[in-house]
Amino acid sequence: MCYYVTGHMTGHIVSIIEFSGKRMPKSRITIRDVAARAGVSHQTVSRVINASERVSPDTRLRVEQAIRDLGYAPNAIARYMAKGSTRTFACIAPNLTDFTFASIIDGAEMKARQNGYFLMSASASDVDIFKNLIVQLVDSRRTEGLMVINPYIDDRHLHLPPQVPIVFLGACAHSGRFNSVFLDEEEGGRLAVQHLLDLNHKRIAHITGPRREDCTLNRKAGYLSALLQAEVEPDPDLIVEGDWSATSGYRAVKQLINQGQRFTGLFAQNDRMAVGAIKALRESGLSVPEDVAVVGFDDMPLASYFDPSLTTIRQDMLSLGKAAALLLLNAVKDPDSPGVQQKMPVELVIRSSTAPNRQEEENPD
Amino acid sequence: MCYYVTGHMTGHIVSIIEFSGKRMPKSRITIRDVAARAGVSHQTVSRVINASERVSPDTRLRVEQAIRDLGYAPNAIARYMAKGSTRTFACIAPNLTDFTFASIIDGAEMKARQNGYFLMSASASDVDIFKNLIVQLVDSRRTEGLMVINPYIDDRHLHLPPQVPIVFLGACAHSGRFNSVFLDEEEGGRLAVQHLLDLNHKRIAHITGPRREDCTLNRKAGYLSALLQAEVEPDPDLIVEGDWSATSGYRAVKQLINQGQRFTGLFAQNDRMAVGAIKALRESGLSVPEDVAVVGFDDMPLASYFDPSLTTIRQDMLSLGKAAALLLLNAVKDPDSPGVQQKMPVELVIRSSTAPNRQEEENPD
DNA sequence: ATGAAAGCGCTAACAT
DNA sequence: ATGTTAGCGCTTTCAT
């Protein structure tokens, strides 16, 4: 039951309703109010709410009662101002909508909260925004630790502040000053290509991410390493650079086909490009996996619902986020602890884009 | 170039690197340090950093120089402690990974930041976590405003605090105390079904979301309204409840088919269920759109890359988030302002799941 | 076991 | 135009 008056189709402000049931008078119940009511000093109240040592069971009860009576809740700002700690971490990502980023943030937020920390997340599409965020978040001491997702997509890693512990996500830190949590990208590439080799493919095309990103290089290293090990000569003409978008995967395949390249296997560095590639292959009259077997990377949501369902490399982004939060928590506890580089495992998920008629093992959603 | 030592396959901590380039000595440069160096009172420094009124150009320069020399940055906590304002909003969603939620958060964060506010986001999978978050965020005055995504998925809307302005996202507030920003769900349902009717379908199946959610009811109202207007008698047997997951869409269709229901059109209340439904249809030997035309809802990422590409209802979640942030900003400025209910437009996107051989208008990624 | 005093870093309200 | 005095709501000494 909605009280708004209509105005549909055009969208936008529809109606304004009764008075806003005026909010409470900025409830300013402080530790002193509680103290007064309990007939103790404000300090005793402080001791009680800090679950601290020596308070007589009797007064503790009285104070607790007063707290309940007054509906008192400690002011976190004042508290952390006195302590000099905000119990807040921040996470900066290129955007918040990419599901891998979102999963990382979700995981990190959970783990942080379990430990009494909050997480502010912000998106920085370019370096200027990033620099600005650093000032707002770190220089002004709003946060005690920083998570940076994809620090190497541009020069942002050159603008990191010295005051707080930092953890990189999705890339191994090039300097020991920082912590990092990242996937075993190379192993992922290797698993993907090994799988294609096992299916007897020799000419395996490769669509990479943007050249400058670490992750691109590492996945490609895995690709090369698998070929090498199988004694298959890599063909540079089969490697095309994309930009992670489905469209770029589509274009990459069109390009390969226009160039007359022959290949029966294809490894795309993410699922979106793989999906775009499959579309282009079909448009060219090639069927997947019969003519070309395709492997992606990410195991994105609904990867098993594409046609054909996607063989891909699976990772646990939630764990990545949790691990990052944990590193930050440790670094806050022990500021002189060394940077830790933590590599997370990946896993091959075989579906129909490489294995026709294979019984799907599950349909994650 | 990573300095870590190997340890691949198994994952987890890989190596520990050189000393952490010890962080700066908790730089505690305050307004008074600056004042001393500039030879003025701390209050004058405060005036300068607040870009405020009367400071002589001369002293202003001196102060600014001192700030630069010392690398001073104002402490946001202290500042907001003195002012009683944290310049922070919070957003609570069922999870952070759903792309619609993530888009809302991204949009809200941008708009908030443009206006000097930060956004903490947190996921609350159940009511207990939600209640706990309210205490941590609102009662302890960490935040000045609250965004709640999907407040009606459970009883969480009954636990909203009175101290701060609140905006609901994805559902119209049942009470005027709250603001809300929501889609024109009913219009979406109508557009979807009208489209199917226009294609001459009469027997149109409907897969809904969970019964208790507002959004489910509203989309269904649109379905019914379109049928009614076309003088097609709704058949309750064609309506099946899902849970938004692709699997539930799959099951819904299996159920309809097992019951021997006949239908040539299908409207699923979100794209994931639509995708699941299509899979089930195909397994039953029915082709889409020839035997059954399918419409989804959301225009999720890669919706145009499924096979067939998905006809669906598009919305602008980023704008939804921005609008919500704006409402909060207004409410903070003017605490006695009434609750605003803002309805956002939706749009039909026609692709091949209803229109065979249609030239795709674009391939969003 | 409890209280009093000082201060976290800043801003607001009065001085001058 | 600039300085002085009080806090914001809490925690941390240090007394008692």
B46/chain A closest Cα distance in angstroms: 14
pLDDT of residue A104: 97
CA closest to A141 among chain B residues: B75
In whole angstroms, how far apart are CA A218 and each of A74, A99, A276? 48, 21, 22
Cβ atoms of residues A117 and A86 within 8 Å: no
Of B8, B121, B307, the CB nearest to A121: B121
Q: Classify the phi-psi angles of A291: left when phi > 0, otherwise alpha if psi is within -120 to 50, otherwise beta.
A: alpha
Mean pLDDT of A53-58: 80
Residue A184's nearest CA partner among B262, B4, B103, B191 is: B4
By C-alpha to C1' distance, C8 is nearest to A82
pLDDT of residue B84: 81
Q: For A150-197, what is each residue's pLDDT tens digit?
A: 999 999 999 999 889 999 999 999 888 899 999 999 999 999 999 999
pLDDT in tens, B36-62: 999 999 989 999 998 766 788 888 999
Best CA proximity match to A89, nearest among A166, A149, A177, A178? A166
Residue identified by tokens 């299908």 is B266
* A232-256 per-position pLDDT tens digit: 999 999 999 999 999 999 999 999 9
Rg (CA), chain A: 27
Contacts of B310 (CB under 8 A, 6+ apart): B271, B274, B275, B294, B296, B299, B303, B304, B351, B353
- Report, in ranges, which bases of strand D sit under 7 Å from a protein C-beta: 1-5, 7-13
A-chain residues near B344 (CB < 8 A): 11-12
| Contacts (Cβ under 8 Å, ≥6 apart) of B94 | B101, B123, B124, B125, B149, B150, B153
Asked if residues B102 and A102 have their Cβ atoms less than 8 Å apart, the reply is yes
Pairing of strands A293-295, B145-149: unpaired
Q: Would you place residue A28 in the very low, low, confident or very high pLDDT band (cuts 50, 70, 90)?
A: confident
Contact A3, B341 (CB under 8 A): yes
CA atoms within 13 A on the CB side of B100: 19
Helices (H), chain B: 31-38, 42-49, 57-70, 76-83, 99-114, 127-134, 185-198, 214-229, 246-258, 271-283, 317-333
Structure tokens at B312: 């669906």
Q: How far is A174 from chain B (nearest CA, A)?
A: 6
Q: CA of A328 and C1' of D6: distance in angstroms?
A: 38
The whole-number pLDDT of residue A17 equals 27
pLDDT for the residue A80? 85
Residue B83 contacts strand C, CB under 7 A:
yes
Given 3-state DSSP classes, what are the helix, strand and coil percentages for chain A, each rounded to the nearest 5? 40, 15, 40
pLDDT in single tens digits along all 365 residues of chain B: 232 222 222 333 333 222 222 333 344 789 999 999 999 999 899 999 987 667 888 889 999 999 999 999 999 899 888 888 889 999 999 999 999 999 999 999 999 999 989 999 999 999 999 999 999 899 989 999 999 999 999 999 999 998 899 999 999 998 888 999 999 999 999 999 999 999 999 999 999 999 989 999 999 999 999 999 999 999 999 999 999 999 999 999 999 999 999 999 999 999 999 999 999 999 999 999 999 999 999 999 999 999 999 999 999 999 999 999 999 999 998 888 889 999 999 999 999 999 865 545 455 56
In Å, what is the separation between the CA of A69 and the C1' of C5? 29
Q: Could you tell me if A195 and A354 are in contact, meaning their C-beta atoms sit under 8 angstroms apart?
A: yes
Mean pLDDT of chain A: 88
Residue B212's Cα: distance from chain center in Å? 20
- Which of A33-37, A85-89, A185-189, A360-364 is predicted with the least confidence, judged by mean pLDDT? A360-364
Tell me the pLDDT tens digit for each residue of A87-116. Answer: 999 999 999 999 999 999 999 999 999 998
Confidence bin at A362 (pLDDT 50/70/90): low
User: Any long-range contacts for A3-8 (C-beta under 8 Å, 24+ apart)?
Assistant: A3/B174, A3/B176, A3/B341, A4/B172, A4/B341, A4/B343, A7/B343, A8/B184, A8/B186, A8/B187, A8/B343
**Residue (of A286, A246, A280) closest to A264 by Cα position:** A286
- First-to-last C-alpha distance (Å) of chain B: 31
Q: What is the pLDDT of residue A344?
A: 97
Provide the CA B285 distance to its chain's centre, in angstroms.
37
B3 CB neighbours in chain A (<8 A) are: 172, 174, 176, 341
Confidence of residue A364 (pLDDT cuts 50, 70, 90): low
- Mean pLDDT over A119-123 rounds to 93
Percent of chain A past pLDDT 70, that is, above it, reads 89
